[in-house]
Amino acid sequence: MESLTGRVAIVTGGNSGIGRAIAKAYAKGGAKLVLAARRAEQLKEVEGEIKAAGGNAMGVVTDVTKEADVVALFDKTMKAHGRVDVLINNAGVASREKTDELPLASWQRVIDVNLTGCFLCAREAFKIMKAQKQGRIINIGSVSAKVPRGNSVPYTASKFGLEGLTRAFALDAREHGVLVSILHPGNTVSSLGRPTQIGANPEGRMEAEDLAQVAVLMATLPHEVNMLEALVLPRTMPFLGRG
């Protein structure tokens, strides 16, 4: 296993939920964190928590749907640290509107954040990592890329698309020493939907910190090894079997 110590990691959507948990886990492992999200106050809060625990972090206000913001995020990271070793493409939104009542604006918003935003960040990371001849891009997908929920057309489409994006990037990047993979969470306590308590949810939900352990594993595998895809589910989630 490789160490996270001194490695520079960008986490989009790093101000809450899964992104926040991964950022803290990476910081605990010694990585230098760059947190990207739209909400400045939440970024400062997470940055402060990491620093208070002895970690290294800086927040950069970023809207991943805006190309200029994404370019600026990577420029600021390079000015601060001189390299990018890991990108966690985690920023995401959901829509739970009925399919036949779904406004085009809702469809576009989800696709812009979940798919186009991931493309922009991966593209900028790849430029840097290609020159370094090493790096890892880990996209946060969803079990919805395997089995969708009802009334989730744009979210499901974006996560299926993200799996294709991952495979295409992985193919183009591997000759340059850059590894690209996707982590599919099952039901997880996150900002996209937080149950009051796990015991009250018949499906059960993982804590974001549990998922973060897998993100650490994926980033610390030997350089010649890539976990292309990981599907992580809570034990009681009704994913397997027939209804």
Other Cβ atoms within 10 Å of 48 Cβ, number: 12
**Among 147, 134, 222, 217, residue whose Cα is nearest residue 177:** 134
Say what the alpha-carbon torsion angle 220, 90, 61, 71 is, to the nearest 10 degrees: 80
Check if the beta carbon of residue 126 is closer than 8 Å to that of residue 169: yes
Structure tokens at 118: 């991931």
Q: How distant is the alpha carbon of residue 237 from its chain centre?
A: 21
Residue corresponding to tokens 């950022």: 23
Q: How distant is the alpha carbon of residue 212 from its chain centre?
A: 10
Residue corresponding to tokens 């939104």: 93
Of 155, 180, 181, 234, which one is the catalytic site residue?
155
Check if the beta carbon of residue 181 is closer than 8 Å to that of residue 141: no
Told to judge if 26 belongs to the known catalytic residues of this protein, a careful annotator would answer: no
Catalytic residues: 155
